[in-house]
Structure 1
Amino acid sequence: MSNKIRWGVLGGGGDSLIGVLHRVAASMFDAYQLVGGSFNPDIEVSKDFATQIGIPTDRIYKDLTELVQKETALPADQRMQVVSILTPNFLHFPMAKQLLEAGFNVICEKPMTMTHAEALELEAIQKKNGNVFGLTHTYTGYPMVRQMREMIANGELGEIQKVDAQYYQGWINNLIHDKEQRNSTWRLMPEKSGISCCLGDIGVHAYQMLEFVTGKKIKSVLADLNHLYEDNEMDIDGTVLLRLDEYTKGVLRSSQIATGEENNFTVAIYGTKAGLKWEQENPNYLYLLEDGQPMRVLKPGHAYNSALSLDGTKLPPGHPEGIFDAMGNIYKGVAKVIRGEDYNSGEFPGMTDGVRGMNFIEKAVQSHRDGNVWVNL
């Protein structure tokens, strides 16, 4: 019998990019076997898709309720061990709640929920039942992001005094200037996307990344958001000032109307000894800055990197690794915990990241609505 982790998927069917990303990532270390799920609200479409990707249709379900009922009726050594949620935002909370209460481990796309209150409710369920919960802040899986985290934790930058994160895209330009389109896309519908579009979609990645690499918690925020049109309820651009403590401050900039930008996510951390910079569009380069010294470029796969970075490196030096590899590292970390193996807390984001992310989104929106004031997290 296969010793692979039995894996189910909700959503991610058809030509879904996120579905492909998760399936490739789960296959990387031969740790998972996709055994079923519900890829589409139409069960016949789900079954057709299952046939296309080469998995049996006997465990393709019409909805999550049927999945839970039939999977929990199976012997423990046959039922799904973990289920990934790849659906639109508004389904994340009810699906995660039902799965956690039924005893399943969960891997969830972000944002984890629609509200901070929902996130706290999930956290309470997970603590009670002891489920494994992975949140796919994918960029934390890059080897050089992990290297940045370890170098900062080891004190190589000294005391952190400035943080800067930028996440710029331009894709929403294609629809925001058309009244009919901006009022019909789910990304700009609060009932489906939550109270924020830009911060909820990409700004929360930058927020989570800053806390992930520095090991510090952001204490308060001051936000200035842009909706661009009066009939658009959702932010599509924003700048957020950050306070981590009395002497550590920074800025988070996110935009979906940065014309011509693709996925320009950059992170810079400056300490009393040195600084580090990383760019998602060139993820194999980590720039080390020191006063009076030439800039150094650190790359994955070399022995000078940390154990956490090397564990997430699949190829010899000089061979580029990308977004699929980063997601694969998150799935690898979740697999270690499900199997009861030793793991580093930096191997995958989890429930705490989701709770803090939702709190950040709500407090940043509150800061803007209250007249651009400081709000404590």
Structure 2
Amino acid sequence: MSTHRKIRMGMIGGGLSSFIGIVHRIAAYIGEEYTLVGGAFDTDYDKALEFAKKLELDPNRTYPNIDTFIEKELELPAEERIEAVVVVTPNFLHYPMAKQLIEAGFNVICEKPVTNTAAEAVELEELVAKHKVVFALTHTYTGYPMVRQMKAMIAEGAIGEIQKVDAQYYQGWINPVIHDKEKRASVWRLDPAKAGQSCCMGDIGVHAFNMVEYTTGLKTAKVLSDLNTLYEDNPLDIDGTAMLRFDNGVRGLVRASQIATAEENNLRIAVYGTKGSLKWEQENPNYLYHLQEGEPMHVLKPGHEYNSEFAAISTKMAPGHPEGIFDSMANIYLGTAKAIRGEEYIDGAFPTIRDGVRGMKFIEAVLASTADGNTWTEIDD
């Protein structure tokens, strides 16, 4: 537990009807590093006030919109002002709201996708550097202890030189609606005005891509993709595969689908090296599988002394007590808190705006590759 005072936190969005808002609040509370002070929780101000009353928040720090939030908070003395703002609005609002907050000097914790375009992400990266604020992007899966153990083992050479990377994220949630014309026309994630340029790759494929670069430390140089909208009147992809070539010549694969019937959140990654391989899956996150030629498979679990320092500080419970998505998100919040306070933290403690830029450039590259007839397309960086 930190001996420092808690960071004053605000939220844009995340009110009564928000599932992801609850996830963020629980994650922030787990490490006892933050206290929720106020925010602009809903476009309906009455609902925002109802939400504030439910959480016993000061109604005077509950604002009708982000403009009022910024104006009124900046009028307060620095020692009372909200320090970190969580953006949990629909996708198309991430960029304009994050931009406003950064320019006003607030630290930002933002849901992904960070923006609708790569150019917007690059602009935010420049603004973060200019205004010297902390920006965390909640690629939640990077917070799992065994993902961090995987990252540490690969960096230490436990599997030798990387030869192949295979990541997938399969869901089936859209299958019940996609085959009905009226239903698919009513899903906001299939509306470019609200979801952005991509549905499947933008929503979950980018998570798999992020996991590839996070765990391996490799940088993707180019992609060749094949995306599927299934129906001509459906504007956004709901399934796709992207082959990757990294800057050192190694090959990889990202597979993503939202029509993988009956799948839930089947995110998996396997990294194969010259000396062995490591495999992890999100639906059983406490197990990291280490395979070596001629050896029994080793299964690593959180909370044990054989794990790295990074995995150890990311584990909150004794061995045998499962930790899940809230704990993973909490580790990102913990790393962000250290950065806000100017304390030392391990590289990779939270995804940054750089991860957001990389993710948006990946999304645009796979879209361009498919549009160009499935050709190799560079990720310009």
TM-score (norm 2): 0.98
Of the three residues 193, 199, 220, the one matched with 2:222 is: 220
CA contact (8 A) 1:198 1:254 kept: yes
Partner of 2:296: 294
Deviation, 1:246, is: 5.3
Partner of 2:58: 56
SS in 1 for 2:61: coil
Partner of 1:189: 191
Distance (Å, rounded) in 1 between the aligned partners of 2:126 and 2:204: 26
Distance (Å, rounded) in 2 between the aligned partners of 1:57 and 1:149: 44
Deviations 1:151-178 (A, max 9, x none): 0111111111100001000000121111
SS in 2 for 1:58: helix
Partner of 2:344: 342
Deviation, 1:67, is: 0.4
Distance (Å, rounded) in 2 between the aligned partners of 1:3 and 1:246: 45
Alignment of 1:320-335 (within 5 A): 320-335=322-337
Unpaired segments ≥5 residues, structure 1: none
Partner of 1:46: 48
Deviations 1:69-102 (A, max 9, x none): 0001100000000000001100000000000000
Of the three residues 254, 257, 278, the one matched with 1:276 is: 278
Letter in 1 for 2:340: I
Alignment of 1:145-164 (within 5 A): 145-164=147-166
Partner of 2:176: 174
Distance (Å, rounded) in 2 between the aligned partners of 1:203 and 1:78: 40
Deviation, 1:247, is: 3.7
SS in 1 for 2:289: strand
Letter in 2 for 1:97: K
Partner of 2:239: 237
Unpaired segments ≥5 residues, structure 2: none
CA contact (8 A) 1:161 1:247 kept: no
Partner of 2:90: 88
SS in 1 for 2:348: helix
Distance (Å, rounded) in 1 between the aligned partners of 2:300 and 2:17: 36
Distance (Å, rounded) in 1 between the aligned partners of 2:58 and 2:68: 17
Letter in 2 for 1:275: S
TM-score (norm 1): 0.99
CA contact (8 A) 1:7 1:34 kept: yes
Distance (Å, rounded) in 2 between the aligned partners of 1:193 and 1:203: 14
Alignment of 1:297-376 (within 5 A): 297-376=299-378
Distance (Å, rounded) in 2 between the aligned partners of 1:327 and 1:23: 10
Partner of 1:36: 38
Distance (Å, rounded) in 2 between the aligned partners of 1:48 and 1:330: 29
Distance (Å, rounded) in 1 between the aligned partners of 2:17 and 2:279: 34
Distance (Å, rounded) in 2 between the aligned partners of 1:17 and 1:161: 39
SS in 2 for 1:200: helix
Letter in 2 for 1:319: H
Question: In angstroms, what is the RMSD of aligned CA positions?
Answer: 0.9
Of the three residues 259, 262, 273, the one matched with 2:261 is: 259
Flag as ranges the 4+ runs of structure 1 deviating above 6 A: none
SS in 2 for 1:250: strand
Deviations 1:18-70 (A, max 9, x none): 01100100001111010000111011100101111222211011100000000
CA contact (8 A) 1:199 1:254 kept: yes
Letter in 1 for 2:132: G
Deviation, 1:3, is: 1.8
Distance (Å, rounded) in 1 between the aligned partners of 2:247 and 2:357: 20
Deviation, 1:13, is: 1.1
CA contact (8 A) 1:82 1:106 kept: yes
Deviation, 1:245, is: 3.6
Distance (Å, rounded) in 2 between the aligned partners of 1:246 and 1:73: 51
Deviating more after overlay: 327-336 vs 49-58: 49-58
Letter in 2 for 1:109: E
Distance (Å, rounded) in 2 between the aligned partners of 1:247 and 1:60: 52
